[in-house]
Chain A
Amino acid sequence: MSGGSHALTHVRTMPTLPRLILAAVALAAGIGPWWAAHEHGAKSFPGFIVQSHTDGAPPLFRTETINAGSPHAKSHSATLAELPDGTLAAAWYAGSGEGTSDVAIYLAKRSAGGAWEQSEAIFTRQRVMSDLRRNVVSLGNPLLLADDTARLGLLFVSIAAGRWSGSSINLAWSEDNGSTWGPARKITMNPLANLSSLPRNPPAPLVGGGWAVPVYEEFLGKFPETLWLQPRGSDWSAAVSRIEGGVYILQSSLVPLSERRVASFFRDFRPARWMSASWSEDAGRTWTKPVTTELYNRDSGQCVIRLSDGTLLCAFNDVSPGKRENLRLAFSKDEGRTWQTVATIAEEPGSEFSYPYMIRGRDGAIRMVYSARQTQIIFAEFNEAWLQQQTEVAP
């Protein structure tokens, strides 16, 4: 390559007509793909599907260890999805340690009313290296995508070098509800070597198909974004929009309040120790400036879902001598501005309960997975009647 200081314009050597035609082609080459994407592509901020069913059943609460007897020193960052027949699928990463080469993505299923089956490694580092034809140091942060078909999606992180800042997000599909998986492919999320992107918290289903997935960047900045995944023929389109820039919040929990209105709650690692929140009135296109809520958050993952009457339910780590010695539930009746702690899911001094992940089943019940001491993946199942019972006894 070379340089110079001459003027941009040169003596025109090409005749006018060919130059005019080429200039027109260039203009068409710019606008053409933009136009075509609107004609045949995914939709711009199509709106959210809001779940509002309830089970009407008597109070229910129970917990179960999904990976009992696991040989792994580390099992963490669990995700949960309900398949069309009511079967539950849970996935998490496990291995000898965070970021180690033996970490794999594990999947376990539980048929409706049945017990959790033995988990299986669905993506190992070797498998992902083969699929991507790239270097992979370790895996992490799986996130399941389920709809009304037998198709099950999986987002997960592969680390190319170093630790989490060297991660990027991959997408794989199963056409048989998670029994077998197609090849993983990398999703391009940012222009800076496509590194430091991670998914976290449940995806919000979109009108017309697809999901809005909470993701975050932690390269130089640390900030939350939304990954928009929408069907495009036999393939999928992926794009990312920013919720807030900066260096202080991440791991958003996306909660559709109506088709166009959506709230987002963030893990916040500023000294103030309060969960922060932001709201959008245009289906996630623009967001209010994040504000701190009155719910405690000491730089730990939380999860918020909407109940049938519009009340928001948050699973979070409350104040404790250690960092994550309890896992509690809180209600908000005003779309997340104020909160009331109503129940404790787990609490033990010196222990750790983290990364809660909640979904609402088609039967209205609430299902949660979380990690205990980052070794056990715990499944908790409860319903709105039980939550109401807890509210009545809460101080």
Chain B
Amino acid sequence: MTTAVAIWTFLVPLLLLWWIFQRAAGLKGGLATIVAGVAAFGAVLFPWFGHSLPHWSASLSGNFSVIMAVLLLVGIISRAGGCGFFRAGDWKAAWIFGAVASLLLYPSALGLGPQNFDSYALGWPWLFRGQSLVLFGGAGLTAALLIWCGNRFGYVLLLALLAYATGFQESENLWDYLLDPVYGAVSLLVVLWSAIRRVSR
């Protein structure tokens, strides 16, 4: 594990716990955010079954998506009363992107769908040359269109693409910079909940 991956696998669980503590306690404002952050820091360092949470999460997967990390950071800062970088439409774009990407990726990764097709393989730019352009070009085009339309999720997507170019993660697959099971599951739940509310109105 490189130092960059070690830092990343520490940072993302910290942000996740920070956000959870902040939300669970119904806290708002700068001081409350600091308290939640200190509690999250303590929980991250606390040994659970012999190891810290980052150690466990890295053992099971070191590839947290850049998008999820940025969304957590934006969520924490917004609730702290800082700059409202994301507006409702930006969040909506984030959830739709996560839900659509999850549906495209995870069923296929589990061996479902077309039997010898794995959309995860398109995340390596050199293996399936032509097909992988759909993912790389599609992600770039989505980010470009969102930025052009003034949607700030486009900047987050751009950040994920630039992070992929640096190769700081353990994975060489673009999907792992865009999506992870936590972001995917939350996105699906939010989109599903929104759809149910819309239908039941």
Contacts and interface: CB of A to CB of B under 8 A. Distances in A.
B138 A38 contact: no
Give chain A's interface secondary structure class: loop
A2 B113 CA distance: 32
Nearest to A188: B171
A195 interface: yes
19 contacts: A6-B88, A9-B151, A23-B143, A25-B158, A27-B143, A30-B143, A31-B137, A132-B1, A135-B51, A135-B56, A160-B60, A191-B120, A191-B175, A193-B61, A241-B121, A242-B111, A242-B116, A242-B117, A247-B111
Nearest to A242: B118
B37 interface: no
Given A27-B140, A194-B63, A223-B111, A10 B150 contact: yes
Given A8-B89, A195-B60, 9 more contacts: A3-B91, A10-B151, A29-B162, A31-B140, A133-B1, A135-B59, A192-B181, A194-B60, A286-B116
Contacts, number: 243
A192 to B, nearest CB: 6
A9 B149 contact: yes
B41 interface: no
B43 interface: no
Interface string A218-257: 0111110100100000000111111111110000000000
Contacts of A45: 127
B165 A32 contact: yes
B46 to A, nearest CB: 16
A3 B136 contact: no
B88 A5 contact: yes
A134 interface: yes
Interface in A146-170: 160-161, 166
Contacts of A6: 87-89, 92
A237 B126 CA distance: 9
Contacts of A12: 149-150
A2 B75 CA distance: 7
Interface string B64-102: 000000011011001000000011111111110000000
B72 A24 contact: no
A118 interface: no
Contacts of B89: 4, 6-10
A9 to B, nearest CB: 5
B32 interface: no
Contact of A30 (B60, B126, B139, B180): B139
B23 to A, nearest CB: 9
A4 B95 CA distance: 10
Contacts of A4: 87-89, 91-92
Interface in B164-180: 164-165, 170-176, 179-180
B133 interface: yes
B118 A30 contact: no
Contacts of B141: 27, 30
A394 interface: no
